[in-house]
Structure 1
């Protein structure tokens, strides 16, 4: 028991000395154990379709001298789940070919690699057939000497979905005197911890419980209406069930619809059915709304009369939410209102742009100021107040005797991209409307210090010239009762540049000087289906832009200098985005422009993007989302990238890569090499490699091409049209070992045709191979087109 005995002696020694230092725990030779262990759920190229495949990738121990290989044990029958070392008997079983669930992986010292990968697909098949949900894989590095052992390593393979959906809570959208409407969005569900990008697992449904504090109140008579992506259900006949509950029974997922579920009449349980996964293309197709009617009107003594709880369940029986975990009295409170709703005017007013009559003007920071007649909350139904563009209060109807001022306002905008209403995070609220404004005969607004002015104001930020804003403003009284919505459209002045340029659809007018103007795509270029075109060659981006037909314009890939000047907006914007709120640039770029977040899903979905990432001309997402191909300034730098992307660039801060003036040249990392004579000079105990003779130093060795032993394989890189667009290379041994599947992964969607082999001297350096610019493709790189007047 060579390892176990050694381990015991070692442990005693550690214990003796460790106690003197008040230290605890076992110690192992970390340099004699594998590291960087990761589980890959991927199949070999010849695996049958639908196979459940697992691989384990690991780095060899740091100390390879006398390293024999890796012992591997499956399940806990040979090695349990707590041991940190192993016995000779357990090691012998790993070497025995008669033991099915243990094996030994011999180290190949000639491979030249630091990593190895174990394909466990065949070895774990019988565990899956036997119904295992998880499986332990234990690994131990074996050495041929009697040195100190490394620690036993473990990973666990999961064969079932044990990941609960993301937590979802019902959000109150509106309330009235006897009811409320709650909405929630279908949660994301990871079906496999090994593939974190997969989050669209199917949701079985939702448990909802409504509870009344009064034990004598009968909730079975509540009117429930469900509005889901599959339609509307008024009675609970199709999309939801009353007096029902989702639960698990062994491996089954059941809906218990027994009438005994609501034994107490102040409880009402509902099951809402789903059956779909999260829709990333249209967020509104994930939205559910529950209308509850028949509640008591809120009074000062009954503020916490009702609560609601919700839990979401996936197809494997995993759940998350408050309905299963909280006592009913601590769930979300259902508030109602008093019996009289506030009144709201019917029109929004703005300051008019004198150059464009009928259009609202923006200030120099793309802000729009709006005004409306303040909302009032009547104390009785016979108030006599008239509702029009302004609220007209009859004589004798005074504040606090006839009406009150509302508590606050909610201001929303209509997003045409995804057909939804969205609240402005910075507008509305309870503390912004103490100032009153009047309006003179010329339509100009002024601050009224007498306190009798009937208008209030707010500011909308990050508005693009030429935009049409559809706004919704609602007054909310102290009981939470919403007024009827003031919905109005505001037409924003297009600005001087747009007046002179009739840009094609999807383009906005931009200027780079007092005399130079053209049109630029508002977003990165999208295809006919509305999807962003990424992962394209520079030549493909050029062709896509030049294929656009626009009367009076020549369309091409934006020039580097044009892109940069538009981003700078006359030198006032360092990142091509209007910054406010005094936040740090790196935080703003991360939070608003998706720079360096790793969130590819947000970049791909235009409806999820933050409209605050915009420059003063209305061009969106210049610093982030996707890097963009542009036409370089010379033939030597034709393929240039501007801006940054969602990609995380190690070693680079977000600010430096997002500067408008920053330019990037794409490259692949390749091994450095030379075909010339190499001179090796001794410097103390080190050998210095140079490529030119130096008579002032002592020559250690001179290598000519006949002494070189390294071989590179070169390839012609061919595009989809069969055209050779560049040359690439790799180590010949990687090419021979990897085969066609490895070469295809290197080709990145192109075709690599082996062309020649060269015997070289590898310098040990990592070369930034810029010749790859002609065939560089990345999912984080897109482009946008510019239209220039003929």
Structure 2
């Protein structure tokens, strides 16, 4: 009986295929599937990949039947075509939002329609979504049915993925992440500060018998610290969402899921673009097993229930893996060794490329907690403690230095690492020599300046990632031969121009008593600031152009005044480490953001980049000269050319060119040629003298903040009268412009570089550096 029933179904299905249309109704319109749009989809993005604005397009497969195919009609919203009708009338077609003509035929299978402008009004009116209906018109009738798709303008975009950084130890782990950005409206792609309700976190152990439910958790967020789960996080909880709400809900935590720990974390704020630290979350988990395997999953949820990822039961094995370490830390010595400078006993010497070699007794990794290995200035291993039976060597070290400005440890990215310490050294008199039986290893620290004091922290890391107690030691670097001959004022370093002339130069651009860089000053103000510096035995002045240049060149060995110790081209180096052409004025103003890699062999910092520097020019007509480059981007100019030590800049303003002398007009056919000197070889048409001139210039006396006259400037009289005092204040840029006289002139129609403006030119990109010359 059952067999017969299925046979009948198959026959009925075959009949439906042959008849094209099966219906319970005897009458009604037949809609031909081969005359309708298929595979209709929405594309959220612009055709131009470089266009970051919000765009909407629909992509569709054209009808299979192209014979008599004439138009595709499009309606936006349901005003003309509702959300259920399959057919449209001719009146509705006349009211189509857009009609696309296909009557001439097309070979395309798929087509795309850009709807961005068509739906813009709906977005502006606050619609969350809108219907797009498409209907194919044929000249012989017999249409296919209306096809629809919905465009959503509201928040259907999940927050960005949460990137988790971890640090593990024997029985615990620290996880750090930053609040993700959230775009709340497709048509506002640059608004990324949508509110994050909170985070779902799941910790999972691969050991089913391990109980994670009562792990100790301490959460530190932008609003404070919670170590009990009473304020900012909830244990055995997760965020859930439905179509119209988001809520926090409890989850099962019985014995059958004891190797899981789920917590929910509340947030309630959007990404803070002004203070990155206010986006940071840190979670410390304690009570894990040593040398064990775990995973962690974290997802962010926005205010309408969009999630940045999954952290459910089915995905725990593939979440982020972390392993706790073994319970025995490597052993490190307590002292660093270095090559001593004979000129300054007790201080380390640098090589010719400003490199500092440091040595330390090799760290070891014991196998047992009750090992006999001792730590002193060197690691002491008893004869009874044999390699591979009692301990293993350490191949990885983390080498850091303490940044006194940021008050934090910063890692040397090129030092430490693995596999770099196979060559061993032994003490040989007052030096270190390679030795097969040696117990010391070495590393090289680059970009060290003479006179630096470096606080080192070196930690050994074993194969499971467990850190040793840190070796912390301070090395004072020799100030070098020049310093033995000359004691510079505070903030200055000894330098040489390469021709036996030595003097002192400020290590950084000039700073005031509060430690702030001085910039946006007149050349005369820079001169006065340097002359106001008191230093016994020295005459302090603004650096002379030739001196600045020779120090930058470092005897001709450098082109840009920096030691490029990396395998990168000059442009990348100058951009990344010297702030050349970045438009980052904040880094230029903050000494803690300056990079130690932008330094010359004598220890002078930031000669390229940061700020251009006023210097005293080589002759009277070029007194105000700027050297070096700055953070500013100059269109069409490459960084290398701007940053060359030999490059010099002459400040000027662009002003209209004029003359007060006679102007000669010569006819050339139907044209009149204007020249400013008599030409006896040509036929004179007319001579214009000052009484014939119709142009006027307003001249100004330029005064500084003390009322001293520092130069003369001018502008079109018409601009001055039209702009008034507000315009004059803008022209003055902090200086006082006092109208002096109006001159009747002949404007040549050209622009000239008004070099006299150097006396009252200032820019936020220009600072200066003082030099102290021995008396």
- TM-score norm. by structure 2 comes to 0.71
Cα 1:203–1:784, aligned 2, differ >3 Å: closer, same or farther? farther
Q: 2:169 matched to which residue of 1?
A: 176
The answer to whether structure 1 residue 519 and structure 2 residue 500 are counterparts is no
CA distance in 2, matches of 1:469, 1:768: 48
**CA drift at 1:359:** 0.8
Q: 2:214 matched to which residue of 1?
A: 221
CA RMSD of aligned residues (A): 4.6
Q: 2:560 matched to which residue of 1?
A: 575
Q: Any conservation in 2 of the 1:412–1:421 contact (CA below 8 Å)?
A: yes
The answer to whether structure 1 residue 677 and structure 2 residue 670 are counterparts is no
| Larger deviation, residues 780-789 vs 175-184 | 175-184
CA distance in 2, matches of 1:524, 1:532: 7
**CA drift at 1:362:** 0.4
Cα 1:611–1:704, aligned 2, differ >3 Å: closer, same or farther? same
Q: 1:438 matched to which residue of 2?
A: 426
Cα 1:479–1:312, aligned 2, differ >3 Å: closer, same or farther? farther
CA distance in 1, matches of 2:650, 2:476: 41
Q: Any conservation in 1 of the 2:395–2:419 contact (CA below 8 Å)?
A: no
CA distance in 1, matches of 2:377, 2:206: 44
Q: Which string of whole-angstrom CA distances, capped at 9 and with x for unpartnered residues, describes residues 754-783 of structure 1? A: 333333333232211111111111111111
Q: 1:394 matched to which residue of 2?
A: 382
Q: 2:322 matched to which residue of 1?
A: 334
Cα 1:183–1:681, aligned 2, differ >3 Å: closer, same or farther? farther
Q: 1:655 matched to which residue of 2?
A: 640
**Which entry has the higher C-alpha Rg, 1 or 2?**
2
Cα 1:736–1:694, aligned 2, differ >3 Å: closer, same or farther? same
Q: Which secondary structure state, in structure 1, belongs to the residue aligned with residue 401 of structure 2? A: strand
Q: Which string of whole-angstrom CA distances, capped at 9 and with x for unpartnered residues, describes residues 527-575 of structure 1? A: 2332211111112212222222333333322222221222122222221
Q: Which secondary structure state, in structure 2, belongs to the residue aligned with residue 641 of structure 1? A: strand
Cα 1:277–1:744, aligned 2, differ >3 Å: closer, same or farther? farther
The answer to whether structure 1 residue 422 and structure 2 residue 424 are counterparts is no
Cα 1:588–1:317, aligned 2, differ >3 Å: closer, same or farther? farther
Cα 1:566–1:321, aligned 2, differ >3 Å: closer, same or farther? farther
Q: Any conservation in 2 of the 1:631–1:639 contact (CA below 8 Å)?
A: yes
CA distance in 2, matches of 1:227, 1:596: 38
| Equivalent residue runs for 1:336-485 within 5 Å | 336-440=324-428, 442-448=429-435, 450=436, 452-485=437-470
**CA drift at 1:384:** 1.0
**CA drift at 1:607:** 1.4
| Larger deviation, residues 285-294 vs 563-572 | 285-294
CA distance in 1, matches of 2:556, 2:579: 23
CA distance in 2, matches of 1:223, 1:338: 20
The counterpart of 1:492, out of the listed 477, 481, 486, is 477
Q: Which secondary structure state, in structure 1, belongs to the residue aligned with residue 323 of structure 2? A: coil
The counterpart of 2:523, out of the listed 512, 524, 538, is 538
CA distance in 2, matches of 1:531, 1:387: 44
Segments of 5+ residues of structure 1 without an aligned counterpart are 1-38, 40-76, 85-126, 134-159
Q: 2:12 matched to which residue of 1?
A: none
Cα 1:722–1:297, aligned 2, differ >3 Å: closer, same or farther? same
Q: 2:513 matched to which residue of 1?
A: 528
Q: Any conservation in 2 of the 1:672–1:767 contact (CA below 8 Å)?
A: yes
CA distance in 2, matches of 1:519, 1:311: 56
Q: 1:306 matched to which residue of 2?
A: 295
Q: Which secondary structure state, in structure 2, belongs to the residue aligned with residue 629 of structure 1? A: strand
Q: 2:262 matched to which residue of 1?
A: 268
Q: Any conservation in 2 of the 1:177–1:297 contact (CA below 8 Å)?
A: yes
Q: Which secondary structure state, in structure 1, belongs to the residue aligned with residue 474 of structure 2? A: strand
CA distance in 1, matches of 2:532, 2:459: 47
Q: Any conservation in 2 of the 1:590–1:597 contact (CA below 8 Å)?
A: yes
Q: Any conservation in 2 of the 1:472–1:488 contact (CA below 8 Å)?
A: yes
**CA drift at 1:601:** 1.9
**CA drift at 1:507:** 1.7
Q: Which string of whole-angstrom CA distances, capped at 9 and with x for unpartnered residues, describes residues 580-607 of structure 1? A: 2343222221221111122212212211
Q: Any conservation in 2 of the 1:308–1:334 contact (CA below 8 Å)?
A: no
| Larger deviation, residues 375-384 vs 462-471 | 375-384
**CA drift at 1:788:** 2.6
Q: Any conservation in 1 of the 2:297–2:311 contact (CA below 8 Å)?
A: no
Q: Which secondary structure state, in structure 2, belongs to the residue aligned with residue 428 of structure 1? A: coil
CA distance in 1, matches of 2:283, 2:516: 33
Q: 1:694 matched to which residue of 2?
A: 679
CA distance in 1, matches of 2:503, 2:746: 51
**CA drift at 1:296:** 3.1
Q: 1:64 matched to which residue of 2?
A: none
CA distance in 1, matches of 2:587, 2:648: 24
CA distance in 1, matches of 2:587, 2:185: 21
Segments of 5+ residues of structure 2 without an aligned counterpart are 1-52, 54-78, 80-96, 100-122, 129-153
The answer to whether structure 1 residue 291 and structure 2 residue 279 are counterparts is no
CA distance in 1, matches of 2:410, 2:665: 68
CA distance in 2, matches of 1:547, 1:162: 63
